[in-house]
Structure 1
Amino acid sequence: MLYTAVTAALILDNDRVLLAQRKSGAQQSLKWEFPGGKLEAGETPEECLAREIKEELDIDIQVKEIFTAVAHSYGDRNILLLAYLCRRTGGTPSPRDCNDFQWVSLNSLLKYDLAEADLPIAIKLMGERCHHA
């Protein structure tokens, strides 16, 4: 079984995290997710995240460390979602290549219609952050 490597940025601001809403008509149309995207040939996950976040939200980030990895099957395709803790270093978010974005408090994450692969990441993030707060 082949997996496509996909990155996700957990961009934290105190007890909030940045979510992006997928475009209408895209796979997982209008679902909320941690922003990121597919790795291109020769690209590291960190380089991919910096590029994708700039393309999607027009902000600069510092990729800090891997948080978790999730293998998920969407029926016709399998992904390995690599979620990294990140910090915004510049810019104001703007929905350039997504439908919308929201800063969401960690205890409200499950109120959003999250993409299936992002759900276990959200649950782990809520558990770890709320536990250490």
Structure 2
Amino acid sequence: MRKRGSAILLENNKVVLIKRNRDGQIYYVFPGGGIEKGETPDLAAKREAFEELGVNINVNECFGKVEYNGTQYFFLADIVEGEIGTGMGEEFTDTNRNRGTYEPMWVEIDKLSIIDIRPKEVAEKIQFLLS
């Protein structure tokens, strides 16, 4: 079990997600990852946004916590600089990693209910608050 920090980036009725293709499954996740030693959940979200997306963010309030193989923290955040899709984390550079593909993208909020997004409860909360 590992704690994770994730970023929720919203803009123009869209949210940034990572499209995963792993073991024959296609699903979507919020950008984020494991909290490293000495790191807080919000700092993990900030680091992971840079690694996975290629953007620097300002982390705002905690949007929610989900218990799944450890506690996952989700933070509302704003992009300060950078361009989505320019991340250079190990997901993109380690060819021996063998954990499927990662494709960062903007997804319309109203599409969240028709895609396989994990965790679903965070997506539902976003849709509820923005409807």
Kindly state the Cα deviation for residue 95 of structure 1 after the two structures are TM-superposed: 5.7
Q: Once superposed, which parts of structure 1, at least 4 consecutive aligned residues long, lie more than 4 Å away? A: none
C-alpha distance after superposition, 1:45-95 (max 9, x if no partner): 1211111111111111110110011112xxxxx121111101111111116
* Aligned residue in 2 for 1:9: 7
Between the two proteins, the alignment pairs up a number of residues equal to: 119
Partners of 1:66 and 1:100 in 2: how far apart?
25
Normalising by structure 2, what TM-score? Answer: 0.81
In structure 2, distance between residues paired with 1:29 and 1:58: 25
Aligned: 1:32 with 2:35? no
Residue 106 of structure 2 corresponds to which residue in structure 1? Answer: 103
- Aligned equivalents of 1:128 and 1:85: distance in 2? 13
**TM-score normalised over the length of structure 1:** 0.80
Alignment correspondent of 1:94: 85
Q: CA RMSD in A?
A: 1.9
Give the whole-Å Cα distance in 1 for the aligned partners of 2:54 and 2:33: 14
* Structure 2 letter corresponding to 1:79: G
Partner of 2:117: 114
- Alignment gaps of 5+ in structure 1: 73-77
Give yes or no for contact 2:54–2:85 (8 Å, CA) kept in 1.
Answer: yes
Rounded to whole Å, the distance in 2 between the matches of 1:17 and 1:119 is 14
**2:128 aligns to what?**
127
Choose which of 69, 73, 79 in structure 2 pairs with 1:82: 73
Cα distance in 2 between the residues matched to 1:35 and 1:23: 15
Secondary structure at 2:113 match in 1: helix
- Larger strand share, 1 or 2: 2
Unaligned stretches of 5+ residues in structure 2: 92-100
Q: Which moved further from structure 2: 61-70 or 90-99?
A: 90-99
* % identity of equivalent residues: 29
Distance 1:20 1:95, change over 3 A: farther
